[in-house]
Amino acid sequence: MQDNKAPDKLPVSVVIVTKNEELNIAGALQSACMAQEIVIVDDYSTDRTIDICRAYNARIYQNHWQGFAPQKQFAIDHAQGPWVFLLDSDERLTPELVQELHQVIAEAGAHFEPGAALSRGSLTPRPSCSGKEAAYDGFYVPRKNFFLGKWIRHSGWWPDNTLRLFKKDRAHMHQRQVHEKVLLDGRAGNLRNPIEHYSYRDISDFIKRMDRYTTLAAEELARTTVKSYTFAFKISLRLIWDFLAKSTAPSDLWTAYRTPLYMMML
């Protein structure tokens, strides 16, 4: 379980948003035990999610769902560390990535101030021993995506670099319902080691999540001027482009492309 007073903790706030994630959250929390702080923002789960998070001494806030970006921004705003790492409940920090994070944060010379103000922009990393600020304000992290237990290496699913580690006072969430992203005010570097993403346990889980994502996407589309048929045409072109331009292993095409096939059947 997490011990927030352990001397080898990183001055990083790992933030996770949850909703009925009892089947996933323990793995995410265990992989993030190196962090000085774990912040959970939960959308009033009705399963054992909260109990599991308490067992790992996470700081827990409950907030009604308003979309991925607003929920994650709420979590970032309540982080107390100078650096924030965004993690999803179905993702895992690998041991190699944890080791790399130790090196990156040590070079940044950041320190953790418990009880600091919760508003964005209130914390600033301490200069390193050399008197220089960290070279980067955020880092892209490669992500290994697993679909039905198999690592998808093709069709654009690898390395799937995403901005996950950043200075709290230099970043905020782009406000979209789905496919949210971090907007960084500063320079971004790239880490070598990945997080692992176990996206779908089975076909039933896949269909349930796609139903949720497509509903959110439809709501976002309804607020724009984009025609529905234009949107569908662009999606079709994207699938064709991925098929022609990104396939490098013909023997693995079925594994690489059964996800969009399932999506087209929904």
Can you list the domains of the chain with their CATH numbers?
A: 10-118+133-200 (3.90.550.10)
3-state secondary structure of 202: coil
pLDDT for 147: 84
pLDDT for 102: 94
Closest CA to 82 of 59, 114, 129: 114
Residues 34 and 11: beta-carbon distance below 8 Å:
no
Query: Mean pLDDT by 10-residue block, N- to C-terminus, for the chain (266 residues)?
Result: 62 97 97 97 98 98 94 98 97 97 88 55 38 76 91 86 97 78 96 93 62 57 60 54 50 51 46
pLDDT for 251: 45
Q: Taking the mean position of all CA atoms in its chain, how far away is CA 123?
A: 21
Closest CA to 72 of 163, 170, 173: 173
pLDDT for 25: 98
Q: Which residues contact 220 (CB under 8 A, 6 or more apart)?
A: 176, 177, 178
pLDDT for 30: 98
Return the CA Rg of the chain: 19
Query: How far apart are alpha carbons 233 and 223 in whole angstroms?
Result: 19
